[in-house]
């Protein structure tokens, strides 16, 4: 299981949740179960419910009577917690992004390093894949996607090249896409550029930002008073949403104040300064380098 994914900021997440002996906790991004295993070590009579839509993650299920694993996207958080009679909860953990296992499995199409089918679906049963987007989206829609979700500077040029290439033959593999991208950027900037392009497509395939918004709003309905929420994000688009919601209660970052000048918000940020991995952790687990942890409690 450790080869599946090394959990980022593990000790910091456990500390953030302030685990109670008989508390109810939720891990909405189960993956290889690293965070879940650690949560279970910290109580004897508590309860842990985990979510993961990836069927391969379900194969890592922990056998423990205190543990329930739900094979669903965490945008259905409230529905399934209600179903399992687990509301309110004392803490929620979300480790966003993709697992090492997903990146390292060529046929999943998440990695720029391996040649495989253009897929990028976290839920392998989902209809929309990276292939559909690259081959069917209009030039205008592709431009918007690369610009908005990948912050790709030459988004318009990239979209045009993709449309031209797919007119010759369908773009079906990661190598097909890489060969288009590599001609549009200097070699020294190639890795970062490809990462931005893949990020944009992956976000669209999995509707990641919309799912994150839905999830954060639902947390307000399922958390107990003074309950904790800890979210690890890996890029600025996610982190911006989490930071704004924790700070203001909305995604636009608009502060509302009462008559006395107090900020009106359902959550109170615990750490005003984002928590990042130590140099030692990054050395041990290079994929943790972009992890950003934010913690809040329900007022």
Domain boundary among 173, 206, 239: 206
Tell me the DSSP string of 68-110. EEE-S-GGGHHHHHHHTT--SEEEEEEE-S--HHHHH-GGG--
Question: Do 64 and 27 share a structural domain?
Answer: yes
When pLDDT is averaged across residues 93-116 and rounded to a whole number, the result is 69
- The domain that contains 278 carries what CATH number? 3.40.50.150
- The domain that contains 193 carries what CATH number? 1.10.150.170
- Domain residues for the domain of 146 are 106-206
C-beta neighbour count of 163 within 10 angstroms: 17
Which one, of 181, 294, 143, lies nearest residue 232 by Cα? 294
**pLDDT for res 4:** 53
Confidence of residue 2 (pLDDT cuts 50, 70, 90): very low
Domain boundary among 179, 206, 233: 206
Assess if residue 2 is contained within a domain.
no
Q: What is the 8-class DSSP label of residue 188?
A: G
Question: Do 254 and 182 share a structural domain?
Answer: no
> Is the bond preceding residue 88 a cis peptide, omega within 30 degrees?
yes
pLDDT tens per residue, range 155-170: 999 999 999 999 999 9
Lowest mean pLDDT among 127-131, 230-234, 243-247, 258-262: 258-262
Q: In this prediction, what percent of the chain has a pLDDT beyond 70?
A: 93
**pLDDT for res 5:** 61
When pLDDT is averaged across residues 55-71 and rounded to a whole number, the result is 90
Question: Alpha-carbon Rg of the chain, whole angstroms?
Answer: 20
Q: Count up the domains in the chain and report the number.
A: 2
Question: Do 226 and 82 share a structural domain?
Answer: yes
Domain boundary among 146, 178, 206: 206
pLDDT tens per residue, range 117-149: 999 998 888 899 999 999 999 999 999 999 999
Assess if residue 274 is contained within a domain.
yes
When pLDDT is averaged across residues 18-39 and rounded to a whole number, the result is 95
Strand (E) positions, 156-291? 223-233, 267-269
Q: Say whether pLDDT at 112 is over 70.
A: no
Assess if residue 1 is contained within a domain.
no
**pLDDT for res 3:** 47
Assess if residue 3 is contained within a domain.
no
């Amino acid at each position: 299981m450790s080869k599946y994914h090394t959990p980022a900021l593990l000790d910091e997440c456990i500390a953030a949740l302030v685990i109670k002996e008989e508390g109810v906790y939720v891990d909405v991004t189960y993956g290889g179960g690293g965070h879940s295993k650690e949560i279970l070590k910290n109580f004897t009579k508590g309860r842990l419910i985990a979510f993961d839509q990836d069927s391969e993650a379900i194969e890592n299920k922990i056998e423990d009577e205190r543990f329930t694993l739900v094979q669903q996207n965490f945008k259905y958080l409230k529905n399934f917690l209600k179903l399992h009679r687990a509301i309110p909860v004392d803490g929620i953990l979300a480790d966003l992004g993709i697992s090492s296992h997903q990146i390292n499995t060529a046929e999943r199409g998440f990695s720029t390093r391996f040649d495989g089918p253009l897929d990028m679906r976290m839920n392998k049963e989902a209809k929309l894949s990276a292939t559909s987007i690259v081959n069917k989206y209009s030039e205008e829609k592709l431009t918007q996607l690369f610009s908005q979700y990948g912050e790709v500077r030459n988004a318009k040029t990239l979209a045009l090249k993709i449309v031209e290439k797919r007119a010759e033959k369908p773009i079906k593999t990661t190598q097909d896409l890489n060969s288009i991208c590599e001609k549009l950027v200097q070699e020294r900037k190639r890795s970062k550029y490809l990462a931005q392009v893949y990020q944009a497509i992956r976000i669209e395939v999995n509707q990641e930002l919309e799912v994150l918004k839905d999830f954060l709003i639902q947390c307000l309905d399922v958390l107990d008073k003074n309950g904790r929420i800890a979210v690890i994000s890996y890029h600025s688009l996610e982190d911006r949403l989490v930071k704004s919601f924790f700070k203001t209660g909305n995604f636009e970052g608009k502060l509302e104040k009462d008559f006395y000048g107090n900020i009106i918000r359902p959550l109170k940020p615990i750490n005003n300064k984002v928590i990042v991995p130590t140099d030692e952790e990054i050395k041990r687990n290079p994929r943790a380098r972009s992890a950003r942890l934010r913690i809040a409690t329900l007022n």
